[in-house]
Amino acid sequence: MAEGLTGGCQCGAVRYLIVGPTPPCHACHCRECQKQSASAFGLSLTAARQAFSVTGPVRRWDRPNDLGARTTCVFCVECGTRVFHIDSLTPDRVSVKGGSLDDITLAVPSAHIWVSRKLDWVLLDPAVPTHATQPDDMAAWRAGFSSGCCT
């Protein structure tokens, strides 16, 4: 793979590359992210789809989301690691799972969403923007967020 931001699944069968600047990261505290990450929240880096390439055996699973749209969840068929999502409202973007980065130190949240569902013991940095649920226009928020408004 060429130079850029790299990552993949736990077993190494799936690898990806994000070219260009490091996308901003956000933490989501919704129940779906808690379940998919098997943790307190999910970390996502939202990248332009044309800047993202993936190799290896993946499977897709679709689920409804809170905006009434669909989220396509993509994971490794070998080890089951969730690698990225595609939201039907923003099909030109991929939401790469932060824990799948080769250098996870780059997954520092610049914003938190769904903090109304945050677990009580999770403490947030008051300097980082939060949203009780998610922005009303998630597509516009992602576009602004990806251009650096929240970093």
Domain 5-145 has CATH 1.10.3720.10: no
Q: Beta partners for 72?
A: 62, 86
- Above 80 in pLDDT, residue 135? no
Q: How confident is the model over 106-134, as a mean pLDDT?
A: 91
95 is written with which tokens?
């939401």
136/151 Cα distance (integer angstroms): 20
| Structure confidence at residue 21 (pLDDT) | 85
